[in-house]
Amino acid sequence: MSTVGIEFAHNLLSGWRARGMDGRALLLEVGIPEAAIAQRHARIAPGQLAQLLKMLIERYDDEGLGMFSRPSKRGSFALQVRAGIAAPTLDVAIRHIAHVFRLLHDDLSLQRVSEGPELAGVALRFQPCAAAANPHLHEFLLRVYWRLFAWLVGGQLPPVRFDFAYARPAYCEGYGPIFPAPWRFDAECSAMWFETERLQMPVCRDENALRSFVADGPVQVILPSRDTGISGRLRNHLQRTQPQWPDLEHSAAALHLSPSALQRRLAAEGTSFQALKTQLRREVAIYRLHTSRISLGQLAEELGFADTAAFQRAFKSWTGQPPGAFRQR
């Protein structure tokens, strides 16, 4: 079961909540249960997150979700995408998009940066303003523009690192599928980094592709990319084979790779076999506890644990509380 943490839904509402909106009614409107709204570790369907984003943009005519000092009217993002597809390479596209972004926003700019000859990136440069203090705006922009840049070159643009200009949040365990690369917190500025040579990749999108991308924007830019890269293929394999939960050797064979090759390719995408397996187990456990009355023994077996005690220890390490207490709460 593919899910995302409910904290990401709350984060999308942060700009409007700062303006006095409660937001609870909107969460209920997209089908998130009342009991889950106040629950820190609740999981929701990815479609609910995309539906919430789409609703906020359409209802309030603001693609910036109330997080900027002035609204970003609908069509602003499409204008930037159009500037990008006119470029010959990703590097030029980034500069075009940054130029249009600067014309639309007063609070910050997108800046093309380098770190030695090997790394190139895009940094968020804020002016002194209230928006700079909202970490959820940093998250939102890094996610949206990384996915846009990847789409421009055909969908594959593995990041090398993500920098965040704020302290590590308590919910960063959910960053894994959203920001699939090493993270650095308390950085000077928030930024995304790539291998320099990748910025010379040709832009391969046209107007027809643009219309489809913008129409499906919320799904394209906000949800985890489960189906791309070797990590996506491994995750799909683990989901299909539940409750067997195959080990590294069997999983590598199913993906037609040697174990060492699978490990190398996962490391290149900022993850590992055990990290993906643990993340998926955690998501399934939280979702099942939240939506079913399955016994802890059955759930432990479903997740591939040797016994209930082993599952309880693992769950407490993931969430800070035993599964029974989590379910009661």
What is the total count of domains within the chain? Answer: 3
Question: Does 85 lie in the same domain as 31?
Answer: no
Domain match, 87 and 46 both: no
In this structure, the answer to whether residues 162 and 257 fall within a common structural domain is no
Asked if residue 224 belongs to a domain, the reply is no
CB 106 within 8 A of CB 83: no
Same domain, 143 and 39: no
Task: Out of 50, 70, 90, pick the residue that ends a domain.
Answer: 70
Domain check: are 46 and 103 in the same one?
A: no
Residue 39 falls within a domain, yes or no?
Answer: yes
Is residue 223 assigned to a domain?
A: no
> Which residues are within 8 A (CB) of 197 and not within 5 positions of it... i.e. 6 or more apart?
none
Q: Kindly give the pairing relationship between strand 183-184 and strand 161-163.
A: parallel
CATH number of the domain to which 291 belongs: 1.10.10.60
Q: Is the pLDDT of residue 40 over 80?
A: no
* Residue 182 and residue 109 share a domain: yes
Strand order in the sheet with 119-126: 108-115, 119-126, 191-195, 161-163, 183-184
- In the listed set 166, 193, 218, which residue is the last one of a domain according to the structure? 218
pLDDT of residue 227: 47
Give percent above pLDDT 70 in the chain: 94
Answer yes or no: do 19 and 128 share one domain: no
Read off the pTM: 0.68
Asked whether residue 31 is domain-assigned, the answer is yes
User: How many Cα neighbours within 13 Å face the side chain of 3?
Assistant: 21
Chosen domain end from 194, 218, 242: 218
**Does residue 89 sit in the same domain as residue 209?**
yes
Please tell me whether residues 323 and 273 are part of one structural domain: yes
Residue of higher predicted confidence among 232 and 75: 75
In a domain, 182, yes or no: yes
User: For residue 269, what pLDDT is reported?
Assistant: 63
Distance CA 329, CA 326 (A): 5
Looking up tokens 């790539």 gives 194
109 and 181 housed in the same domain: yes
In the predicted model, what is the mean pLDDT of residues 63-78?
A: 91
pLDDT of 226 over the 60 cut: no
Greatest mean pLDDT among 90-104, 217-231, 237-251, 299-313: 90-104
pLDDT digits (tens, 9 = 90+) for 95-142: 999 999 999 999 999 999 999 999 999 999 999 888 889 999 999 999
Query: Whole domain around residue 212: which residue ranges?
Result: 76-218
At 18, list the tokens. 């700062």
Q: 269: which strand partners? A: none
Same domain, 81 and 208: yes
Peptide bond into 158 cis (omega under 30): no
Residue linked to tokens 């479609």? 47
Core vs surface per residue 156-185: b (16+ CB within 10 A) or e: ebbbbbbbbbbeebeebebbbbbbbbeeee
Q: Averaged over 302-329, what is the pLDDT? A: 87
Q: Is a pLDDT exceeding 60 seen at residue 189?
A: yes
Q: Which helix (H) or strand (E) holds 85?
A: helix 76-85
* 113 and 241 inside one domain: no
Q: What DSSP state is assigned to residue 218?
A: H
